């Protein structure tokens, strides 16, 4: 059967050379028939799914990745234009509600091979060790079933694989250095550092970001024109589309684009035997598989599990705890803009290039638990116009005047930890999407601790901008980075998956993406999600065929398989530091 595999902006094609020169993929993609029971069917080839498919294929497993969106050809499909890039987002219908409804649709999650890593800003900090035990330390939220030390080797590995540019010494959390040197600073970064310095706050210039500050293999260094959220046509910004998927294909994975999974199938032995999906023409298919991994993002993963309710799993698949869809989290992402007398020119740098984590940890002097980071944001004109409309209520001539002033503005973002609450959740709505599948209804409420944290954080950023010389300050209430909804834990009564991502209820069904995070800290989640995916892959490889046949759960920690890193990880470019865990 011929399947369309290329991007959205061209007609579907069936030729076998599938990607543009940037990705340099020469091998033909292997094809599996729907009837062949592959080892792993991965649903969603985004941040986590990209890393999983690369490692599992490289270890010899038969892998099919079902991806709802297109297979981007970075050179032909992407444009360095803010308006022209909205196709990168998951724009399908989703409903939003609660006291603080999240803005969904564009700019929320990705759709297409690479998922959210295609349009992420690429800030790549690690979580702090304290993030893994906030219940023990602060009496809030929940502890993770793993410690920072278990994830640390994977952080170090992924920082090399994608790779991350940053300072030689990053002082917060578990202090460490980065393999590539920091980036030169843009106007917004200068202001963040200036404001911090005036207030005696430590700041970090030039990273940590998964953007090349020097060449790496066939990827060039950044050219500093700020189109990172538009995909980075140049290829300097990491996305799994260019860092991991090429090798997944080389080792025989099939990534089936335009394939929307709508139900996970169960056999009579309480094991999954494959996935139902629609192709781009709306035809229904069933891909047989010995095991299934759901990697569809914090909204689509719970949605699919709930839509897969069946006899024996009437509440939704893997939902005996009743927690599928619950404990959804978004980080407080207030954007605070400051107007400066001198030119700032926000667009002349990656939006992500400087931060401070000085307020990250719980401070007993404050009246709330946990904390926040402050980061450069640097919106392009359309995003800036939306922010100004929300922040200042400008419209018409007022908007025009503000926009003519764009080059004088600097925008900094709060990234604050909102705690996991059961009433923040993904449920199924009555409305259906273009396939006739019930869509997700997302409810989001802020609680007392969250409100206090946000109030403190936004005032601190305002203070910082004024210290840097801002004459006018305006702020937009915003949220960023959804995670949770299928959280991991040791207790099957209060979590969906165990510490390796295996669902408590079905032994050959796994979840691996941002939805398994029990808490979120104040670090952008992408690096953590990709590190968890590498760890889950190591576990599955250690377990071998047992995953396909046995009901027993071996909880032994797997060895870290550095040999599975994409080729070129350790030999290309000009890494500054020697590699150490």
120 contact choice in ligand FAD, ligand SF4, none (CB below 5 to 8 Å, kind-dependent): ligand FAD
User: Is residue 230 close enough to count as binding ligand FAD by CB under 6 A?
Assistant: no
Query: Is 518 within 8 Å of 484 (Cβ atoms)?
Result: yes
Backbone angles phi, psi at 89, to 5 degrees: -95, 165
Q: How distant is the alpha carbon of residue 159 from its chain centre?
A: 15
Question: Among residues 295, 443, 503, 569, which is the contact residue for ligand FAD, using CB under 6 A?
Answer: 295
Tell the smallest beta-carbon distance from residue 219 to ligand SF4 (Å): 10
Please report, to the nearest 10 degrees, the dihedral formed by the alpha carbons of residues 424, 430, 431, 432 taken in order: 100
- Is residue 234 at the binding interface for ligand SF4, with CB under 6 A as the rule? yes
Strands 438-443 and 425-432: antiparallel
Give the distance between the most distant pair of CA atoms in the chain: 70
Q: Residues near 283 by Cβ (< 8 Å), separated by ≥ 6?
A: none
* Binding span for ligand SF4 by CB under 6 A among 141-149, 194-202, 229-237, 543-551: 229-237
Q: Does 51 bind ligand FAD (CB under 6 A)?
A: no
Q: How far is the CB of 42 from ligand FAD (least distance, A)?
A: 9
Closest CA to 218 of 530, 577, 568: 568
The residue (of 55 and 119) whose beta carbon lies closer to ligand SF4 is 119
Nearest CA to 7 out of 70, 68, 64, 62 is that of 70
Closest CA to 327 of 192, 245, 443, 215: 443
Element (DSSP H or E) covering residue 286: strand 284-294
Which of ligand SF4, ligand FAD, none does residue 333 bind to, with CB < 5 to 8 Å depending on kind?
A: none
Least separation in angstroms between CB 503 and ligand SF4: 36
User: Which part of the chain contacts ligand FAD (CB under 6 A), choosing from 61-69, 136-144, 439-447, 539-547?
Assistant: 61-69
List the one residue out of 484, 125, 441, 39 whose CA is nearest residue 30. Answer: 39
Find which of ligand FAD, ligand SF4, none residue 222 binds, CB within 5 to 8 Å per kind.
ligand SF4
| Binding span for ligand SF4 by CB under 6 A among 45-53, 218-226, 387-395, 558-566 | 218-226
The only residue of 222, 304, 354, 425 in contact with ligand SF4, by rule CB under 6 A: 222
Q: CB nearer to ligand SF4: give 82 or 462.
A: 82
And the tokens for 389? 């409309």
Q: What is the dihedral of CA 523, 525, 531, 532, to 10 degrees?
A: 120
Rounded to a whole number of angstroms, the minimum distance from the CB of residue 546 to ligand FAD is 25
Query: Which residue among 52, 57, 192, 236 contacts ligand SF4 (CB under 6 A)?
Result: 236
Tell me the DSSP string of 77-146: H--S-SGGGGGGB--S--EEESSSPPP-STTTSB-STTGGGTT---B-PPPPGGGGBHHHHHSSS-B-SS
Query: What are the start-end ranges of the E strands in 176-240?
Result: 204-205
Closest to ligand FAD by CB, 89 or 359: 89
Give dist(CA 48, CA 285) in Å, integer: 24
Q: Which stretch binds ligand FAD (CB under 6 A): 66-74, 410-418, 420-428, 448-456?
A: 66-74
Instruction: Rule CB under 6 A: choose which of 116, 206, 485, 573 binds ligand FAD.
Output: 116
What's the closest the beta carbon of residue 77 comes to ligand SF4, in angstroms?
15
Q: Which of 93, 223, 382, 555 binds ligand SF4 (CB under 6 A)?
A: 223
- Residue 383 found at the interface with ligand SF4 (CB under 6 A): no
Q: Is the CA virtual torsion 390, 122, 521, 49 positive or negative?
A: positive
Q: Residues in the site for ligand FAD, rule: CB under 6 A? A: 43-44, 46-49, 66-69, 107-112, 115-117, 119-123, 229, 259-261, 295-297, 300, 304, 352, 481, 513-514, 524-527, 529
Q: Residues in the site for ligand SF4, rule: CB under 6 A? A: 211, 222-228, 232, 234, 236-237, 350
């Amino acid at each position: 059967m011929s399947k369309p595999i290329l991007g959205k902006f061209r007609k579907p094609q069936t030729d076998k050379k599938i990607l543009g020169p940037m990705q340099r993929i020469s091998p033909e993609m292997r094809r599996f028939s729907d009837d062949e029971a592959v080892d792993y069917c991965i649903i969603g080839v985004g941040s986590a799914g990209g890393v999983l498919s690369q490692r599992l294929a490289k270890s010899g497993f038969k892998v099919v990745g079902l991806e709802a969106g297109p297979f981007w050809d970075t050179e032909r499909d992407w444009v360095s234009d803010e308006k022209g890039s909205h196709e990168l987002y998951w724009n399908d219908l989703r409903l939003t509600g609660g006291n603080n409804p999240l803005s969904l649709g564009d700019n929320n999650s990705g759709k297409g091979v690479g998922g959210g890593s295609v349009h992420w800003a690429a800030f790549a900090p690690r979580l702090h060790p304290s993030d893994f035990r906030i219940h023990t330390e602060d009496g809030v939220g929940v502890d993770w079933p793993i410690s920072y030390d278990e994830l640390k080797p994977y952080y170090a590995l992924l920082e090399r694989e994608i790779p991350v540019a940053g300072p030689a010494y990053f002082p917060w959390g578990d202090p460490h250095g980065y393999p590539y040197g920091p980036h030169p600073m843009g106007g917004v970064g200068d202001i963040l550092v200036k404001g911090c310095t005036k207030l005696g706050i430590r700041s970090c210039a030039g990273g940590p970001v998964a953007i090349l500050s020097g060449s790496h293999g066939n990827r060039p260094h950044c050219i500093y024109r700020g189109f990172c959220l538009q995909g980075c046509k140049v290829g300097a910004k990491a996305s799994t589309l260019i860092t991991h998927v090429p090798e997944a294909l080389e080792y025989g994975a099939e990534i089936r684009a335009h394939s929307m999974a709508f139900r996970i199938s169960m056999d009579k032995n309480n094991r999954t035997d494959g996935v139902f999906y629609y192709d781009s023409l709306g035809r229904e298919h069933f891909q047989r598989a010995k095991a299934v991994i759901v990697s569809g993002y914090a909204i689509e993963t719970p949605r699919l599990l709930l839509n897969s309710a069946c006899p024996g799993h009437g509440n939704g698949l893997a939902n005996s705890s009743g927690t599928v869809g619950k404990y959804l989290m978004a980080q407080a992402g207030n954007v605070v803009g400051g107007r400066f007398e001198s030119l700032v020119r926000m667009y002349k740098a990656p939006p992500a290039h400087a931060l401070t984590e000085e307020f990250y940890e719980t401070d007993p002097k404050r009246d709330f638990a946990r904390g926040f980071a402050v980061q450069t944001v640097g919106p392009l004109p359309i995003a800036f116009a939306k922010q100004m409309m929300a922040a200042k209520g400008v419209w018409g001539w007022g908007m025009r005047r503000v926009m003519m002033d764009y080059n004088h503005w600097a925008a900094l973002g709060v990234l604050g930890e909102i705690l996991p609450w059961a009433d923040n959740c993904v449920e199924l709505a009555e409305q259906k999407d273009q396939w006739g599948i019930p869509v997700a209804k997302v409810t989001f409420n802020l609680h007392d601790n969250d409100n206090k944290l946000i109030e403190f954080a936004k005032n601190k950023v305002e203070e910082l901008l004024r210290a840097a010389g801002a004459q006018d300050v305006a702020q937009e209430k915003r949220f960023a980075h959804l995670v949770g909804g299928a959280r991991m834990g040791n207790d099957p009564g209060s979590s969906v998956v165990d510490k390796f991502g295996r669902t408590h209820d079905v032994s050959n069904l796994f979840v691996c993406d941002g939805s398994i995070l029990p808490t979120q800290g104040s670090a952008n989640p992408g690096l953590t999600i990709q590190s968890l995916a590498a760890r889950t892959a190591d576990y599955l490889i250690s377990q071998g065929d047992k995953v396909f046949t046995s009901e027993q759960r071996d909880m032994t920690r797997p060895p870290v398989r550095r040999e599975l890193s994409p080729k070129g990880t350790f030999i290309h470019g000009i890494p500054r530091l020697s590699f150490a865990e």
